[in-house]
Amino acid sequence: MESEEQPLASPPVLAVVVTHGLHANRFEVLLGALAEQDYPELSVLVVDAAGEDGTADRVRAVLPSARVLHVPGTDGFATAANHVLDPDRPQARRAEFFVFCHDHVFPDPGAVSALVGAATEWDADVVGPKFVAQDDPRRLLHVGLGVDRVGTTMPLVERRELDQGQHDGVRDVFTFPAGFTLVRADRFAAMAGFDEAIASPNDELGLCWRAHAAGARVLLATDARVRRDGQSWAGPRDEARYRIRALLSCSSRLDLLRVAPQALALSLVQAVGGLVTGRPGRARVALGAWAWNLLHPLSLWRARRQVGRVRQASARDVRRLQVRGFIGPRLWLRRMRRNGSSADPTVDRPEGSGGPGPPLAAEPTAPSDAVAPWTPTTALITAVLAGVVLFGSRHLVTRFVPAVGELVDFPGSAGDLVRAWAGGYRPVGLGADASAPTVAGVAGGLGAVLGGHLALARTLLVVGLVPAGVVGTYRLLRPTGSKAAQVAGAVAYAAVPLPYDALAAGRWSVVAAYAASPWLLGRLAQASLVAPFSADGPVPPVARPLWQHVVATGAVIGLAAVLVPQAPALVLLVVLALVAGTLLAFQRRGIGRLVTVSVGAALVATVLHLPALIDVIRSRTAADAWMGLDRPGGALTALDLLRLDTGSLGIAPLGFCLAGAAALPLLVGRDWRLGWAVRAWAVAVTCWAVLWAQQQGHIHVRLPEPGVVLAPAAAALAFAVALGVAAIELDVRGRSWRFGFRRMASALAVLALGAATAPVVVGAMDGWWDMPPGQFADVMGAVDAAVADEPSRVLWVGDPAVLPGGQAWELDDGLAYTAVEASAPGVADLWPATGLGASGRLGEALRLAAGGQTSKLGRVLAPMGVQYVAVPRALAPASAVERTDGGAAGTGPAALAPAGSVGALIEALDGQLDLEQVAVDDALALYRNVAFAPIRATGIDPSALEETSVAAMQHVDLSAASPALVESAGDGHSSRGPVEAGATVVQSSSASDRWVLEVEGRRADRADAYGWAAAFAVPEGVGNGDAVLDYRTPPYRYALVALQGALWLSVLALAVRMRFGSEAPSPSASRPEGAAGRPDDADGERAQQEPVADDEPSREGEPVPAGAGAPT
Amino acid sequence: MKRPRLRRRSPRLPAIVLLAAALGAAAWQARIQEHRGTAAAGEVSAADAAGPASGMPAVPGTGAVASTWYCAAGTGDAGGMADHSVTVFNPGDKGVGVTVTVYAGVLASSSPTTAEAVEAPPLAPPPAARGFLLPSRARLELRLGDLVPAALVAALVEADGGPVAVEHRVTGPHGVDVGPCASATAPVWHLASGATTRDARDVLVLFNPFPTDAIVDITFDTDAGSREPVRFQGFPVAAGTVVGVDVGDDVAREPQVSATLRTRAGRVVAERLQEFDGSLGPEGLAVALGVPDASTAWVFADGAVDDGRTERIVVYNPGSERAEVEVRVEPTSDEPTPAPQPFRLSIRAGTFAVVDYGAEDRVVSGVEHATIVRSTNGVPVVAERVTTHAGAPAGTDDGEGDGDGEGDAGGEGGAGGDVAVGPGAVAAATRWAFPSSVQGEDAGVRFVVFNPDPERPVSVTLLAMVGGRTGEASSASDVEVPAGGRVSLTGDAAGAAWVVESEAPVVVERAVLGEDGLRLATGPGIPGVEGAVPLGRMLGG
């Protein structure tokens, strides 16, 4: 009889159970299962890694024959298990096979016999069992794992597939899950056991890979059946680390050169995907795995050396056992098909409950992303959406972002920009003691982070804003629990023409407002605690104290204010609308919180821009400038506003489709869908009304760009569209099968949403979003050289819509002007009107010329150091403008300006006797001032310095002036050069006692020049040495900047802690009663709602949304 | 007792109603705005068509801090065809510093063999400047050839402030003429009249005082059609120079030549010297400033035809659309005379039409008149008047013309008489300045004031300013000009500059009479910008 023969032929087997003092109940059940094994030569060794006193007693109580080895303080499973290799373990020395058991598996009585039988019959060195579900042994969990070349594993069966024997048999596999692994003892010793760098009991991939490399055979014996739960014993973070370690330690050198870059690229893709989809945890896991491995080079080298000692198989032999291609993408698609979840399949969660952590994991399991489940349709739409946005931006990403309008260049170095921000002096115009915009510091900081690649920083800060807005909308809808609603909201927001029109017109502030609005709306909605943003919503948010909402919302507004200075005021407008909408919805809940949070957040955001705040408080001009231009109205009609159409992109009749789709929740929505739809429409209508009243001249207030005011309206409309989709799922689908009004309205809304996307798809074709693929800097190289040779300014004047540098000083007839010490404004010169100084004189001079009061504007501008006057007729050079959809003769923002105030200005400048016309481009009227004096000059007649009248300067000839202190720092705060003793150095910048001229260490006396500038008398007796002219930034300015930096760091640190840190309360704390919980996701926020059983009554009798319910 | 459950109010209906109302209002407003926009566009185009007051030289306002004048056409060497003098007049209350810079130039060669030949004219003397202080109400005359003797000389007059007016006088062997200098430059200049017949010489003078080289395209329109001579396409005018172009070299033997000059780059001031040698008719010399902007209404305040005088109105359409033009003659006589039927002209784009009053029966001989040229379809045109005067006529009211019959100032032999050519007025103003004076005891000056207002009479005063003093002309104080009518005033102070003031905008022309009674120069004066009104707006052009 076989049962009688087996003991005689049975090789001794040692079952090794490592326990860490956890899961006591399961531990004893496992020992019981081992006791029931039918294999006669089985002995059991319990390795007590915790060193607990009662372990031996508990073992003896269940399995008296088992030996207990106390190894207290042992760190990790591998180290504990490797004690079987100690030479002083006779039981281990005698064993031919080891079976490494985890303390929460339940082997069938014949499991060991089957494993040993397979090993002996097929001469295998490593054998694994078939794993079935603990709660239902008829359900398969694993019959081995497929592995690709980069170590990604893939189950070979569908999860919880019914076991009908279809996978039975003995087969070669690359690896299998850990839990009950048989290893030939001598082979295990040759491989030096488990990799001790791996703390969790999950080294089967590495063990099997090493075995393959050593020429050993790895089998799966399905006759050995082991029950276990579906949980992985290592979190995504550890799994990624161990996967990379196995790859790096087991691959041959040549293979490593080939495969490691591919693996790294995949990790990068995963990281980018995580960032784009708002799951930075994934990015952290993907890149952290590489960092962890590369930070342990010695351990890695030892592991490779160990594998090298036993390596017998060629790399080709190992590869032959691996799955071809990459498993990752296939796995993702498979998950889509299976249950719509993108959760990592390697993290097999226990069904029905939040299971315990891994037995020996040193840290808590990293959470998985648990959001509303994806479906193939939503995934496809999202992919198409991303593709369209990327396709439409392709030239901006791969070539350059033209420096037009507000989208100015980032000149100099990252350090220059940071110094310009911190310096407290703005060279723009005629200079002023004022703060450079925070965006200069942000640009410099980001450039520094990117290794000095300012162009890349600029591309990110411009092109990245569009997807940021779309992702913001997607995230805004997260509490609805409907992936379809999230995706619909994102699609609707991407279909808004605002950002593309803004790019085409060079309106950075509008793109930024577009990016910020959904985040802002989301923060306010969460602060309101009104369903679904409350604990009784489909995806309850984390409960937070009110002050955290204030700070988080303030951080969002503060970030927006980097590019939209009016953001704090704008948020008050939005809240006003939300309050009105709440009242209109016959509700009161949330109003107090909304008002409190918005006011507080506006204050926080204002404080975050502290230096600018000081300027605004000190100067009415700066305050006016921060609020926006005093624009003439009438450009936009009510229908334009309804279409959110501020530019050339769009197909007029389709412009109404978005609003049409957004009306759906008002028609068919119920409960919170209807309530929030009313609020969203209130926001949209309020924004439209304010802008309309201003455009029609009914109110006379300074407003930012129309697109900035329209951005919250656009976000609100997209929100309403998404609510409509949620309403289809909750309020239409489950109510009746009759094709009545609700279904018809839903169908029309879906069609309208589709139609609304058509203009954007068309607009994406050119790859520039209709931006002119050129910039004035391309045709002004000679100007740059001239301005550098002789320090001087370029005075830009014209229509604010096409003027580089954004909102400038206002001239008459809707014109504006700015002046810079380069050919075109840079990021530190943005929004010059926030600092005035003596720059108003430039306007006076221009008014003289425009009014026919002088034919010698050159002389008038000479003391201001203006060498060139530039009047743009379009946003970019004509050659670039002609290539846009609008074209030079079109109506788009890039079109050449028609005759009007700009034409009259050009007429006036053409008639100036000392302005030489410079033919550079049809779209730019450029004049060289033949009478100019450099910004820093010597040789000026002292009597000329006493002339203070702008008009009178036309009778003064400064053409004899010579440049001085030509060498200038990039931040505009310092210059140097040789000067003659006794000379007078005139600096044509707004007078400030912060400017100091030192020659050979001696300070020059300072006097006024022209009534607004400064003249420095070089002391007698100094040689012709170097003179240094410096702007001495006052200490309080540095203190302000430091305080601003500290505030930003504090707020961002708090935001990070709220998002990722331990402050995030556990899900169960805020989970509604009766809802099953999942662990925190990778981002530290609440996971999605657990699948709700079909028979589980939904709230208020509502059907469960498809996207939030069980997989179908 | 179980209380009935309260039904929560749904916001659906109010929200939909409010939203529908808002959207409806938006649509309604957009429609209204569209309608208004169309109407406003119509208003704007009408205003544009009226033409700005700056379409002709103008005296800056009293608050002006500076003014610049450009006197382009004239010669500076001995025996030149048009010896060039500039008259600067300060009608203001304060003295002003004035700088006159004289630029030299040459007549462009008519037959260059290469482009270089055109671009490299003979070296001209460098510009020379002279500055002086011009007291209040004083005038100063400067012969440019004294500063820079050259074939062509042009002057740039810069005043430090105040309302300064500048005219120039050209004197040659065949006549003399006076006309205003330009107070602004322009990218386009139109010259409606011109002749290159055997007895005529038509010289276009292009003055570029700017630091930028100018490139000019010139188009000529004749009875035979439009011509764009190759050498005048991309014709260079170097910075700080003046260049003359003899039109007859390229457009020969044409009795009527209209011209349009367009600058591709830079700016110029364009003037025309028209000389008749008397071999085929009256001899004479005329200087006329080009017109920078076409207008829908032109007024010639003075005019008459009789046995000794002829008058032709040349209407030139430089635009791209056909112009429907009405030329109306407004006669003035002691007895009520019905206005003749207006001449209606339909002028194709790029062509001209000529109305010769002498050949038209409807213009009564011997009756003085004003002429109003009006575009009835809003297409702007340029109108010039060509008058010839063979001698002192009989029966007219310019009795000052009883001279000794020696002919014009420089006339030698020939048929005698004089020719005056120039554009009309495009603006009415309350103050007109006339810097130039007349020479000789028997010479005289006569002013004709036309009141374009068809409803209200207006009172005018003629002021003579001599040596810094102001005096009213004895017979010309508070003279009433009837509505839509005209009056003639006589200036009787020798060596004076003149100012005509009125209580409402009028158009004033001056006739400079020689000692023999010949009309040496006729044309509108220089209006002040303060109180000026485009005639297009007043006359409904």
DSSP A921-989: ETTEEEEEETT---SEEE---HHHHT---TGGGGG---TT-EE---EE-TTSSEEEEE--TT-EEEE-S
Which residue did the predictor score with more confidence, A1080 or B211? B211
Which residue did the predictor score with more confidence, A338 or B139? B139
Percent of chain B residues topping a pLDDT of 90 = 50
B84 touches B76 (CB < 8 A): yes
Interface test with B, best of A690, A867, A910 (most B CBs within 10 A): A910
B380 touches B296 (CB < 8 A): yes
Residues of A in contact with B265 (CB under 8 A): 917, 919
Residues of B in contact with A912 (CB under 8 A): 210
- pLDDT (mean) for B334-363: 88
Task: Please state, in angstroms and as integers, the Cα–Cα distance from residue A360 to each residue in A107, A163, A345, following that order.
Answer: 20, 30, 21
Residue A6 in tokens? 């087996």
pLDDT digits (tens, 9 = 90+) for B268-301: 999 999 999 888 888 899 999 999 999 999 999 9
Beta bridge partners of B277: B283
- pLDDT (mean) for A216-238: 83
Q: How far is CA A378 from the centre of its chain?
A: 21
Q: Do A685 and B64 touch (CB under 8 A)?
A: no
Q: Do A639 and B22 touch (CB under 8 A)?
A: no
* A172 C-beta neighbours (distance < 10 Å), count: 13
pLDDT digits (tens, 9 = 90+) for A363-418: 333 333 345 677 888 889 999 999 999 999 999 999 999 999 999 999 989 999 99
pLDDT at residue A897 in the model: 52
The DSSP element (H or E) to which A19 belongs, if any, is strand A13-19
pLDDT at residue B411 in the model: 39
Q: Do B27 and A639 touch (CB under 8 A)?
A: yes
Q: Do A692 and B34 touch (CB under 8 A)?
A: no
pLDDT for A1064 beyond 70: no
Q: Do B9 and A675 touch (CB under 8 A)?
A: no
Shortest CA gap A406–chain B (Å): 29
DSSP A217-249: -EEEEEEEEEEE-S--SS-HHHHHHHHHHHHHH
Q: Do B211 and A848 touch (CB under 8 A)?
A: no
Measured CA to CA, the distance from residue A424 to residue A1106 in angstroms comes to 56
Residues of A in contact with B8 (CB under 8 A): 586
Question: What 3 state SS string does B80-131 have?
Answer: CCCEEEEEEEECCCCCEEEEEEEEEEEECCCCCCCHHHHHCCCCCCCCEEEE
A-chain residue closest to B209, CA distance: A913
pLDDT for A239 beyond 90: no
Contact partners, residue A165, CB within 8 Å, separation at least 6: none
pLDDT for A914 beyond 80: yes
Nearest to B15 among A641, A666, A917 (CB): A666
pLDDT at residue B383 in the model: 96
pLDDT at residue B237 in the model: 92
B45 touches B38 (CB < 8 A): no
Residues of B in contact with A586 (CB under 8 A): 8-11
pLDDT for A928 beyond 80: yes
- pLDDT (mean) for A426-445: 89
- pLDDT (mean) for A81-89: 80
pLDDT at residue A899 in the model: 52
3-state secondary structure of A132: strand
pLDDT for A542 beyond 90: no
Q: Do A638 and B184 touch (CB under 8 A)?
A: no
pLDDT for A1006 beyond 80: yes
- Give the confidence band of A30 by pLDDT, cuts at 50, 70, 90: confident
B-chain residue closest to A927, CA distance: B212
3-state secondary structure of A524: helix
pLDDT at residue B108 in the model: 84
Residues of B in contact with A641 (CB under 8 A): 26
Residue B140 in tokens? 């100063």
pLDDT at residue A336 in the model: 58
pLDDT digits (tens, 9 = 90+) for A604-613: 999 998 887 8
Nearest to B30 among A637, A954, A955 (CB): A637
Q: Do A913 and B23 touch (CB under 8 A)?
A: no
Chain B: residues touching A (Cβ < 8 Å): 8-12, 14-16, 18-19, 22-23, 25-27, 29-30, 33-34, 54, 60, 64-66, 68, 97, 156, 158, 160, 184-187, 209-212, 239, 265-267
pLDDT at residue A333 in the model: 67
pLDDT digits (tens, 9 = 90+) for A266-316: 888 888 877 766 677 888 888 899 999 988 888 899 999 989 988 998 888
The DSSP element (H or E) to which A291 belongs, if any, is helix A280-294
- Give the confidence band of B45 by pLDDT, cuts at 50, 70, 90: very low
Q: Do B19 and A663 touch (CB under 8 A)?
A: yes
- pLDDT (mean) for A508-512: 94
Residue B387 in tokens? 């008058």
Residues of A in contact with B30 (CB under 8 A): 637-640
Residue B217 in tokens? 């395209």
Residues of B in contact with A667 (CB under 8 A): 12, 16
Q: Do A584 and B15 touch (CB under 8 A)?
A: yes
The DSSP element (H or E) to which B458 belongs, if any, is strand B458-466
B-chain residue closest to A955, CA distance: B160
Q: Do B212 and A917 touch (CB under 8 A)?
A: yes
Q: How far is CA B103 from the centre of its chain?
A: 23
Nearest to B22 among A685, A913, A914 (CB): A685
Size of interface A-B (CB pairs under 8 A): 103
pLDDT digits (tens, 9 = 90+) for A1009-1023: 999 999 999 888 776
Q: What is the dihedral of CA B110, B113, B118, B123, to 10 degrees?
A: -90
- pLDDT (mean) for A730-736: 74
Residues of A in contact with B160 (CB under 8 A): 955
pLDDT at residue B508 in the model: 95
Q: Do B33 and A853 touch (CB under 8 A)?
A: no
Measured CA to CA, the distance from residue A437 to residue A441 in angstroms comes to 8
Q: Do B26 and A907 touch (CB under 8 A)?
A: no
- Give the confidence band of B308 by pLDDT, cuts at 50, 70, 90: confident
Residues of B in contact with A660 (CB under 8 A): none
Contact partners, residue A618, CB within 8 Å, separation at least 6: none
Shortest CA gap B391–chain A (Å): 42
Contact partners, residue A495, CB within 8 Å, separation at least 6: A658, A753, A756, A757, A759, A760
Q: Do A853 and B66 touch (CB under 8 A)?
A: yes
- pLDDT (mean) for A880-906: 62
Percent of chain A residues topping a pLDDT of 90 = 36
ipTM of the predicted assembly exceeds 0.85: no
pLDDT at residue B278 in the model: 85
pLDDT at residue A516 in the model: 96
Q: Model pTM?
A: 0.75
pLDDT for B222 beyond 60: yes
pLDDT for A23 beyond 60: no
Percent of chain B residues topping a pLDDT of 70 = 83
> Which stretch, A191-205, A981-995, A1093-1107, has highest mean pLDDT?
A981-995
pLDDT digits (tens, 9 = 90+) for A454-503: 999 999 999 999 999 999 999 999 888 889 999 999 999 999 999 999 99
Shortest CA gap A922–chain B (Å): 11
- pLDDT (mean) for A977-998: 89
First to last CA, chain A: 51
Measured CA to CA, the distance from residue B62 to residue B136 in angstroms comes to 12
Which residue did the predictor score with more confidence, A1103 or B194? B194
Residues of B in contact with A696 (CB under 8 A): 29, 33
Interface test with A, best of B6, B8, B28, B33 (most A CBs within 10 A): B33
Interface test with B, best of A637, A686, A741 (most B CBs within 10 A): A637
A187 touches A211 (CB < 8 A): yes
Q: Do A638 and B10 touch (CB under 8 A)?
A: no
Q: Do B26 and A641 touch (CB under 8 A)?
A: yes
CA-based nearest residue to A198, from A292, A304, A78: A78
Residues of B in contact with A849 (CB under 8 A): none
Phi and psi at A513, nearest 5°, equal -65, -40
Q: Do A855 and B68 touch (CB under 8 A)?
A: yes
Residues of B in contact with A634 (CB under 8 A): 33
